[in-house]
Amino acid sequence: MTDSTALLTDRYEYTMVDAALQAGTAERESVFEVFARRLPGERRYGVVAGTGRLVQAVADFQLGDDELAWLADEGVVSAGTVDWLADYRFSGRITGYREGEIYFPGSPILVVEGTFAECVLLETVVLSILNYDSAVATAAARVVSASAGRPVAEMGSRRTGERSAVAAARAAWIAGFSSTSNLEAGRTWGLPTMGTAAHAFTLLHDSEEQAFRAQIAAQGKGTTLLVDTFDVPTAVRMAVEIAGPELGAVRIDSGDLASQVAEVRRQLDGLGATGTRITVTSDLDEYSVAALSASPVDSYGVGTSVVTGSGHPAAGMVYKLVAHKDDDGAWVSVAKKSSNKASVGGRKHGFRNLARDGIATAEVVRVEAHGAASAPAAGETERALHVPLVSDGVADTQWLGAAGTQRAREHHAEVVRELPPEAFRLSAGDPVLPTVYR
């Protein structure tokens, strides 16, 4: 089963199932929850991403003959457990925050319900997806807010793993990036792709003029010419002489960007190329993008920082058992009490409190008591954050594929407008909303 996600996991997920089957506790109805204890880098908010990929991964979590034989040969589980795994299909329920949603410490981002055995097997693959994609989306959202409405292209494929690059492009798009350089991301998720030429293309030719003429002949005058291989002013003048004022854009990838951009804008305008755009790249992150806010930059290309979470490549989410039925069929809330890792037991529901002007004021987490969520407080305006993702083992298809990715992008654009202005500060600080348990 080449598309199976069943071994994209840690060994102890399987050994726990093996032991629980032998102990007679594997079939206990259970509730697991994904949440983050804190926001990486003391950021003001986080962005949920990866949900659509996660739902598909759950559907693909099946073991074929090859996977079963390997588990048996390696002695990972007993023969009886191999037989149980042969029929494994997740049959439970998953609810959670919509992809593109904002989250905070303690937000019940995902709730997985079913038997202990079928739920615990999903832990690693769920966290693998949510932790990486959410880290990228959170970093990307910070770049987007720093760009002040100017387009930002994702171009970090060569700075991460080949499959991670596709996931990163998708997460950045959900958070508001305008395009990606990654073709597989474009093909798989329906993202707009961009890219023209690198320095190698200029160096291949006998002169910069020859390279520019070749690129324009192939791609038209609307192309973007890279002008910092040798001397920027010389390249800009040559680019306009060849393409005329119809030249689409020039790209600058090195040097003191603020001063270079200002000089190139003056030069372009003086040459009559007032419509020619300027795009800048060169290892940008949210801070350098913000520093260029007063410069006449038209668009940005961001690579390494976004695909590595801008210094925080994992969102720090955890997957914890919060409730299960006992031998008498009664629900029992459970929680860790470990120092600095304590959790809150019980199944939870997330809500966002909103003021009359639509600006969020708090993250409210309601904890179920005896199977029912507590009622909202009188007079509160709030938005329920959980949606069904998987019901009776069947994925809700609206969250999948290119259409699901587009929905996530649109949802993020809506909910980010609920945040108060201080959410967009790049400096470290407390979460912009408090998390309140009720």
- pLDDT by 10-residue block (mean), the chain, 438 residues: 86 98 97 97 97 97 97 98 98 98 98 98 98 98 97 97 98 98 98 97 98 98 98 98 98 96 98 98 96 97 98 97 95 89 91 95 87 60 96 97 98 98 97 96
Tell whether 318 and 273 lie within a shared domain: no
Tell whether 164 and 300 lie within a shared domain: yes
The pLDDT assigned to 368 comes to 86
Tell whether 166 and 243 lie within a shared domain: yes
Tell whether 260 and 403 lie within a shared domain: no
141 within some domain: no
Tell whether 354 and 298 lie within a shared domain: no
Instruction: Give the model confidence (pLDDT) of 398-413 as tens digits.
Output: 999 999 999 999 999 9
Tell whether 163 and 302 lie within a shared domain: yes
| Domain final residue, candidates 284, 309, 334 | 309
The pLDDT assigned to 162 comes to 97
Partner residues linked to 350 by β-bridges = 365
Tell whether 254 and 320 lie within a shared domain: no
97 within some domain: yes
5 within some domain: no
Asked whether the beta carbons of 270 and 247 are under 8 A apart, the reply is: no
| Domain final residue, candidates 309, 337, 352 | 309
Of 42, 163, 155, 60, give the one whose Cα is nearest residue 104: 42
Residue with tokens 């009359």: 356
Residue with tokens 């459970």: 334
3 within some domain: no
Report the alpha-carbon distance of residue 379 to residue 348 in Å, rounded: 21
The pLDDT assigned to 1 comes to 41
DSSP three-state, residue 289: helix
Tell whether 332 and 398 lie within a shared domain: yes
What CATH code is carried by the domain that includes residue 43? 3.20.140.10
The pLDDT assigned to 370 comes to 46
1 within some domain: no
4 within some domain: no
Q: What is the dihedral of CA 320, 7, 116, 34, to 10 degrees?
A: 20
Tell whether 304 and 316 lie within a shared domain: no
166 within some domain: yes
- Sign of the CA dihedral 338, 13, 162, 98? negative
Of 186, 156, 150, 148, give the one whose Cα is nearest residue 170: 186
Residue 235 belongs to domain spanning: 148-309
What CATH code is carried by the domain that includes residue 212? 3.20.20.70
Report the alpha-carbon distance of residue 142 to residue 45 in Å, rounded: 10
The pLDDT assigned to 341 comes to 80
Tell whether 159 and 298 lie within a shared domain: yes
| Domain final residue, candidates 309, 335, 353 | 309
Report the alpha-carbon distance of residue 111 to residue 96 in Å, rounded: 6
Report the alpha-carbon distance of residue 433 to residue 424 in Å, rounded: 12
The pLDDT assigned to 95 comes to 98
The pLDDT assigned to 11 comes to 98
Total domains, the chain: 2
Asked whether the beta carbons of 21 and 87 are under 8 A apart, the reply is: no
Instruction: Give the model confidence (pLDDT) of 154-196 as tens digits.
Output: 999 999 999 999 999 999 999 999 999 999 999 999 999 999 9
**Of all residues in the chain, what percent are helix, strand and coil, respectively (each to 5)?**
40, 20, 40
Tell whether 298 and 223 lie within a shared domain: yes
143 within some domain: no
Report the alpha-carbon distance of residue 364 to residue 435 in Å, rounded: 6
Tell whether 161 and 277 lie within a shared domain: yes
